[in-house]
Structure 1
Amino acid sequence: MREGSLDAPVRHPINWNDPEFYDEALLDEELRRVFDICHGCRRCFNLCDSFPRLFDLIDESESGELDTVSSADFKPVVDACTLCDMCFMTKCPYVPPHEFNLDFPHLMLRYRAVEKKKGEDKFVPRQLAKTDRNGNMAKHVAPIANWASNRKNGLTRGIMESTLGIHKDAALPPYHSKTLLDRARDNVLTVNPDAPAHGRKAVIYATCFGNYNNPGIGEATRKVLARNGVETEVVYPGCCGMPLLEQGDLKAVADNADKVSAELAGWIDKGYDIIALVSSCALMLKFEWPLIVPGNPAVEKLSKATYDVAEYLVDIAKKEGLAGGMQPLDGAVSMHLACHARAQNMGAKGAELLRLIPETRVAVVERCSGHGGSWGIMKDNFETAIKVGTPAARTSLKSGAAYFASECPLAAEHLLQGMEKLDSDGAESRKALHPIELVAAAYGLTD
């Protein structure tokens, strides 16, 4: 329950196939309706940079009201939205079923979809969104790609900034020559037959990031689940489309949803649960896909069978109990609750999971990292992204924790950069981990 309504918030399907969705006059009318309500409320002033930009735009206008603001000046407000969903999920009192019917992130998405249809989307972000193509190319030259993208490589990063607009100081994820799929094929794990959860079966949906950029998350997940008696298969039909969603390419997202859900639905029919390794991808499968391709039976089936990885382990702990053998970590954990984990409306499952490790103190950080996928690495956005994430970085530093974890690997690396700016002396000693990697360490399953 929230202020403004006694009912739980709901989201409407995105009518991206309706020609009126792309009507610029209708879009402007809706932008003005929503912006005027936001101007009178201002509860979201500290969530991201969209709202300060909006409020400054109105306050500095001739009348101090929206009527003297040009529609041409709306674009910076839209560009600053990272689709984190926190305004919809945690702040806005006017989301449906309230009669005002506000969904700020999906309105920003509509604006970008109109830009995409007009051919006004930007070339570099559009190419970055092609994660499968990029991953399949980069894995063959991973050492060279990682050398070129390393922040310490002033030559190549300077060239990337001047030609591609990617900020020279922004951390970029590495690539691996052996993907998670490759590693799963080469390493068959023995499932613990004495574990309380023996008999469960789960497909690990690798995600583009888990497959190409950080296979360690998937390897830790496989080992922890095998210790707990869960039979697993690693499957990756393709990207969930979150990077494409950020660019307003709804047709491409729908195509990915059709393809991936068709394959994963077959595993569900064979009795497998579906686990997404990255919170953004879990959000897409659970909530965004059903709104983009409503009525698709495979998508509906998948949305009900999908778990975030931390959510799945907590579910085992509550229903069957986790296998014994975990040892305490040698220090506390600062646990960042990623926005796309919070937007799944499942509770703080990453923190719950870490508290299952014996004698472990967990300091929760519940603020946005500011990264926003490919948005936060761009030259025009990086400093803003660091600014938005500074409160979370500062809170994590103040906790004095020995470990830093987040369900979102990109958010984690970005927050490490924020911590580096606040405490450069301790930067080299910090490493960002997914909570499942700390559980694997507690079980003694890491190398």
Structure 2
Amino acid sequence: MKEGSLEAPTRHPLAWTDPDFYDEAKLDEELRRVFDICHGCRRCFNLCDSFPRLFDLIDESESGELDSVSSADFKPVVDACTLCDMCFLTKCPYVPPHEFNLDFPHLMLRYRAVERKKQGTPFVEKQVTETDRNGKLAAPVAGIANWATDLKNGTTRGLMEKAGGIDKRAALPKFHSKTFTRAAKSDVPEVNTAAPAYGRKAALYATCFVNYNNPDTGMAARRVLAKNGVETEVVYPSCCGMPQLEQGDIESVAKKARSVAQEMKPWIDKGYDIVALTPSCALMLKFEWPLIVPDDEDVKRLSAATKDISEYVVDIAKKEGLAEGIQALDGGVTVHIACHARAQNIGQKAAEMLRLIPDTKVSVIERCSGHGGSWGIFKENFDIALKVGKPVARQALKEANKYVVSECPLAGLHILQGMEEIEKDAAIPSQSEHPIELVAKAYGL
């Protein structure tokens, strides 16, 4: 059978409303079909822990083939998938339109959806997915919440590990008392009417992480765009649903897609571009939502109107040119290209954006950090997450740049932890920023 295709890869809509999607016998048949093809190919052996688990399972079986592997043993393979999409996008020669029609991440998602339908989402994992609720509860008591989750607080972190399975060694994001949506109301940057891109309008989809955990990213994006003549509005109806997607709760994601698309519709009607501030959320709006609710016209329009923030700044630079005033940054930058940025198939836009800063060394790492959303914080996964991310951390140490940044805030945090794990005495940055924050710094904003 011939590998690959001369046509561009494509993805089929998720048939999650079809009863057959949840039929366990049909799911098992598809798992065995796909796993057998993966066993014969093995190109994805170094992407994540799912594939080594699968190949070890087969190799250690009685026949050395899939026929002697029990279906009950498939769960660890599924559990190790972080839905990064890298196997589909970068490695697999059998994705549609190839007749083998492989979509490994969406098959893992289907397994989780079936599992969830039978058993529900485990309590702790469900609480972690409630990002809007957690952010709203934590904001008024951000100091206490951050104290409780601090790595140095052995008492509370020990309790969290014992009661909830969240590894006490895993760095957790901090909360802010002043959310991005709140800060944006009182801090509106003046639009540079002399900038080449004056006339553009963008509605910034704040995302739950930027809104509750890192408003600095949002403020930096807003100031950079204002400097370049772009009028911005901050819009945040709700989380994109990526945390629920990780748990197989497709119905919740569909509801979020429809409601957020409905609220974004007036902005699109008024000629605003939609700019997402984290790559996972951009991926959801652009690609995952249209596959989950393929018949929703508002979702289709939102998908077509959405750009990632790095992609948007590069688009301005290419079409109108950037506003003057950007200055070199001393010390060099190591930029990690997040998996969900790569999955958007837009190229290394974060690196392209940083190279717009004159006379600044930019080193690129294009490999999974190992964190995988909320996956990497749990005790059963944390050591594996560090192992998968070790090549990234090692390369970042080798580059020895002043800044280590990632479009994915959780990946950035995890990379710094990995660097410290390898070389505790190294000069490691105190924080990992989003690349747009360095552009703001270069502008003196």
Normalised-by-shorter TM-score class: over 0.9
1:361 paired residue number: 361
SS at match of 1:327: coil
Structure 1 residue 324 displacement after superposition: 0.7
CA distance in 2, matches of 1:140, 1:110: 38
CA contact (8 A) 1:394 1:422 kept: yes
Q: Matched residues in 1 for 2:9 and 2:29: separation?
A: 23
For 2:331 and 2:198, how far apart are their aligned partners in 1? 31
What's the counterpart of residue 262 of structure 1? 262
1:140 CA displacement: 1.3
Distance of 1:187 and 1:440 partners within structure 2: 15
CA distance in structure 2 between the aligned counterparts of 1:273 and 1:411, rounded to whole angstroms: 27
| Aligned 1:218-233 pairs, distance under 5 A | 218-233=218-233
Counterpart mapping for 1:411-422 below 5 A: 411-422=411-422
Aligned residues: 444
Give the equivalent residue in structure 1 for 2:293.
293
- Equivalent residue number for residue 240 of structure 1: 240
Deviations 1:59-114 (A, max 9, x none): 00000000000000000000000000000000000000000000000000000000
- Write out aligned runs for 1:185-196 (5 A): 185-196=185-196
Matched with 2:14 is 14
Supply the distance in 2 between the matched residues of 1:194 and 1:158 (Cα, whole angstroms): 55
**1:23-62, aligned counterparts within 5 Å?**
23-62=23-62
Q: C-alpha separation between the residues in 1 aligned to 2:62 and 2:239?
A: 46
2:211 corresponding residue in structure 1: 211
Shift, 1:3, TM fit:
5.1
Q: Secondary structure at the match of 1:118?
A: helix
The gaps in structure 1 that reach 5 residues or longer are none
How far did residue 396 of structure 1 move?
A: 1.2
Task: Deviation per CA, 1:220-250: give whole Å up to 9, x if none.
Answer: 0010001001000000000000000000000
Deviation at 1:429, TM superposition (A): 3.8
* Aligned-partner Cα distance in 2 for 1:141–1:233: 27
Cα deviations by residue, 1:242-296 (Å, 9 ceiling, x for unpaired)? 0000000000000000110101121000010000000000000000000000010
Kept in 2, the 8 Å contact 1:404–1:430? The answer is no
Partner of 1:168: helix, strand, or coil? coil
How far, CA to CA, are the matches of 1:245 and 1:318 in structure 2?
34
| Partner Cα distance (1:344, 1:386) in 2 | 25
Letter in 2 for 1:332: G
Question: In 1, distance between residues paired with 2:354 and 2:444?
Answer: 15
Q: Could you say which residue in structure 2 is the equivalent of 1:72?
A: 72
Contact 1:45–1:52 under 8 Å retained in 2:
yes
Q: Which moved more, 1:327-336 or 1:426-435?
A: 426-435
What are the residue-to-residue correspondences of 1:36-435 with 2, within 5 Å?
Answer: 36-426=36-426, 429-435=429-435
Q: Distance in 1 between matches of 2:419 and 2:3?
A: 35
| Residues 402, 429 of structure 2: 8 Å contact kept | no
Distance in 1 of aligned mates of 2:121 and 2:263:
30
Alpha-carbon distance between aligned partners in 1 of 2:120 and 2:383, rounded to the nearest angstrom? 24
Residues 420 and 427 in structure 1, CA contact (< 8 A), matched pair in contact too: no
CA distance in 2, matches of 1:427, 1:355: 24
How large is the Cα RMSD of the aligned pairs?
Answer: 1.0
Report the alpha carbon displacement of residue 433 of structure 1 after superposing the two structures with TM: 1.0
Take 1:69 and 1:153, find their aligned partners in 2: how far apart are those partners? 44
CA distance in 1, matches of 2:360, 2:335: 12
Q: Using the alignment, how far apart are the partners of 1:405 and 1:89 within structure 2?
A: 23
Cα offset for 1:428? 5.5
Secondary structure of 2:426's partner?
helix
Partner of 1:262, secondary structure, is: helix
Deviations 1:17-54 (A, max 9, x none): 00000000000000000000000000000000000000
Distance 2:320 2:103 in 1: 38
CA distance in 2 between partners of 1:346 and 1:197 (Å):
21
Identity %: 70
SS for the counterpart of 1:433 is: coil
- Tell me how far apart the structure 1 counterparts of residues 300 and 50 of structure 2 sit (CA, whole Å): 32
Unaligned ranges ≥5, structure 2 = none
Give the Cα separation in 2 of the matches to 1:229 and 1:323: 8
Once residues 36 and 428 of structure 2 are traced to their aligned partners in structure 1, the CA distance between those partners, rounded to angstroms, is 46
Which letter does structure 2 place at the counterpart of 1:182? R
Tell me: CA distance 1:327–1:3, structure 2 relative to 1, closer, same or farther (3 Å): farther
CA–CA distance in structure 1, aligned partners of residues 275 and 314 of structure 2? 13
Residue 203 of structure 1 contacts residue 272 of structure 1 at CA under 8 Å; is this kept in 2? yes
Contact 1:96–1:102 (CA<8 Å) still a contact in 2?
Answer: yes
How far does residue 328 in structure 1 lie from its aligned partner after superposition?
0.4
* 3-state SS of 2:367 partner: coil
Could you say if the C-alpha distance between residues 3 and 427 of structure 1 is closer, same or farther in structure 2, counting changes exceeding 3 Å? farther
